[in-house]
Amino acid sequence: MTDAHERRSRLVVLAGPTAVGKGTVAAEVRRSHPEVWISVSATTRKPRPGEENGVHYWFVSDEEFDRMIAEGDLLEWAVVHQAARYGTPRQPVDLALASGRPAMLEIDLQGARQVRETMPDALFVFLKPPSWEELVRRLVGRGTESAEERERRLVTAREELAAETEFDVTIVNHEVHAAAEQLVALMTHSPTDL
Ligand SMILES: Nc1ncnc2c1ncn2[C@@H]1O[C@H](COP(=O)(O)OP(=O)(O)OP(=O)(O)O)[C@@H](O)[C@H]1O
Ligand SMILES: Nc1nc2c(ncn2[C@@H]2O[C@H](COP(=O)(O)O)[C@@H](O)[C@H]2O)c(=O)[nH]1
């Protein structure tokens, strides 16, 4: 493996449609590979039951999010599902990469495109559902959105699925542990080895 490839693999950007399982797979990586650093995003969305500030997200006000943008604190940010703003705090990413830890961002397509511009050496991974029907089942089964919000998310999901070819690698999330292991392997192996 070349030095260039090692640099390329250390930051993984994970994206994919709503409810494909990005958060679940990221939680599995956190559980089984504590050596991997995972970014905690800031969002203006309200917490879901069980979500903790600083663990799942930094839940911030619109004013605080405006301040973070103005002060250049965010590596990327976007309005997602036409509903709330989400962004990646820049400094923790820089610190994780400087410390040599493998690092991962779990963000939407718009954010991934921004990171592609500023950090083209990152590895862009698309998490894909086994089928559209299974994606809808997971979204409904999660039970965290209203029917109206689910519809909005599925509109974005169609656009995100169409962007798969922009990514370096696709992982199909059939099973959570297997998907997490494939993701971690990408941080240490060439995609062509898998
Ligand atoms: N491999 C899998 N098999 C079956 N169910 C899964 C799998 N992965 C995730 N799920 C379930 O699918 C639902 C959506 O998962 P999750 O919330 O992680 O998706 P997400 O991609 O982070 O969604 P969003 O982009 O909307 O935040 C959850 O109920 C989760 O338990
Ligand atoms: N561009 C960014 N997108 C992000 C970030 N953190 C999360 N996300 C994406 O938002 C949607 C919705 O998440 P949810 O928790 O409300 O279901 C999902 O696609 C996430 O990947 C971020 O920092 N930047």
∠ CA 46-49-52, nearest 5°, is: 70
pTM of full prediction above 0.90: yes
**Is this prediction's ipTM beyond 0.90?**
yes
Question: What's the pLDDT at 189?
Answer: 63
Residue range 3-193, CATH number: 3.40.50.300
- Give domain limits for the chain: 3-193
Give the number of other Cβ atoms within 10 Å of residue 101's Cβ: 14
Backbone Cα Rg of the chain:
16
Atom number of ligand 1 nearest to Cα 20 = 21
Kindly report, residue by residue over 43-96, the tens digit of the pLDDT.
999 998 999 999 999 999 999 999 999 999 999 999 998 789 999 999 999 999
90 CA to centre of ligand 2 in angstroms: 15
* For the chain, percent of residues with pLDDT exceeding 70: 92
pLDDT attached to residue 190: 53
So what's the pLDDT on residue 188?
73
The residue whose C-alpha atom lies closest to atom 22 belonging to ligand 2 is: 87
* Per-residue pLDDT band at 1 (split at 50, 70, 90): very low
Rounded to whole angstroms, the Cα distance separating 27 from 33 reads 10
Q: What are the start-end ranges of the H helices in 11-144? A: 22-32, 62-70, 90-98, 109-118, 132-142
Tokens linked to 172: 């199909």
Helix (H, G, I), strand (E, B) or coil at 54: coil
Ligand 1 centroid, distance to 106 Cα (angstroms) = 13
Looking at the CA of 182, name the nearest ligand.
1
Q: Which ligand is nearest to the CA of 143?
A: 1
